[in-house]
Amino acid sequence: MKNFVKPKRALLQTTTLVAAGLIISAVPADAAEKLKIGVGGYAEQWFGYTDIQDDGNSTQDLSGFDVKSDTEIHFKGSTTLDNGLEVGINVQLEGNSNSSDQIDESYLTVRGNFGQIDIGDENSALYKTHVAPKEYGMGINSGDTVDWELTGNTSIGDSGYFRAPFGGTYIEPARANDSTKLTYYTPRVEGFRVGVSYAPDSNQDDNVQPDRDNSSLTDGVMAGIDYSRDFNGVKVAASAGYGTFLEAAGNNEEPEAYAFGLTVDYAGFQVGGSYAKFADSGVNDGDAYVVGAAYDFGQYGVSATYLHGEREGLDGSTVPGTAQADRDTFALGGQYILGPGVSLQGTLGYSEYTSDTAGVGDVEAAYAITGIRLTF
């Protein structure tokens, strides 16, 4: 593998230097206007009731009412240079306490006739080109509904949920979400756009030089292609993506991730589906698929979605976070737009988590949630 990777790495480094040189040489010293920063983001406040039945753990009672929050403050700005290049910055601050990751994403963007370049801690082209069915309320596809269904102590735990097939079809290889990377997107031509990302390692917010002999995962490559076209009022969107890390320490396998999606919109209706798969990713290997339908009418929107997700787990494990597990989730979602940037959201959902491993109890959750979402 190393003999294969090094020439590719050298070519990538050379190409990056040439591209950077072309961009820098095209920028005049007297840019039209200095970049100015604005504030944006979102705030979600949810109130609901959940009924959680855990066949394998009778020592806790998780059913009842709760209030949950999700807030981010985004500092964004851009400027257009005299030569037409647009340069921007995006820094996203977590509004809720998270000691391990107070800054969610932080990256620089350069746009022009050549396309777009993102540099920094951001999702990959595999993730950002992915197409999946539209959802209203609190989405179940890589969404936050797991907080109303599982904990780390239920018989089947919530470990391996985020950015993996157990949680939905919005995935990243090895669950390396927002790892520091360089991404290029082509301009959209005849409805098609291609994106390619390179991540030196799987870490976020880390300027330490990767040790390719001892680091767990290095030299990540993620690619995606999406398509969007309107055919006399029928809008078709589709995507396909792949991601991997070319080097893994020791005898570990190089993880692989695949994702595909398709949606069709007409007269306010949408139907669609998406699929994702992890291979050679250890306990998080598995498949996921989502099918859904949605309808928009004026200030209102409704959706119906079904998700099946899998976590291969460790053979024979009864530990909540590593036990083999399947999930089936159904949800009805609704939205009412109260005003610009303000909407009332609601979700009725049911999830069933099962395991093929003897000694692992099933978990069922039924919930009704309502909330207000602000975008600014």
What would the pLDDT profile of 114-152 be if each residue is shown by its tens digit?
A: 999 999 999 999 999 999 999 999 999 987 899 999 999
pLDDT number for residue 3: 46
The string of pLDDT tens digits covering residues 222-256 is: 999 999 999 999 999 999 999 999 999 888 899 99
In a domain, 32, yes or no: no
In a domain, 114, yes or no: yes
In a domain, 156, yes or no: yes
Global pTM reads: 0.89
In a domain, 120, yes or no: yes
State the Cα–Cα distance between residues 58 and 181, nearest whole angstrom. Answer: 45
The string of pLDDT tens digits covering residues 5-38 is: 444 444 444 444 444 444 444 444 454 688 999 9
The string of pLDDT tens digits covering residues 249-302 is: 888 899 999 999 999 999 999 999 999 999 999 999 999 999 999 999 999 999
In a domain, 82, yes or no: yes
In a domain, 109, yes or no: yes
Alpha-helix runs per DSSP H in the chain: 2-25, 125-128
CB 107 within 8 A of CB 128: no
What residue numbers bound the domain in which 291 lies?
2-26+39-375
In a domain, 176, yes or no: yes
Is the pLDDT at 91 greater than 50? The verdict is: yes
- Number of domains composing the chain: 1
Q: What is the CATH number of the domain that holds 310?
A: 2.40.160.10
User: Can you spell out the DSSP letters for 243-283?
Assistant: EEEEEESTTPPPPEEEEEEEEEEETTEEEEEEEEEEES-GG
pLDDT number for residue 143: 78
In a domain, 33, yes or no: no
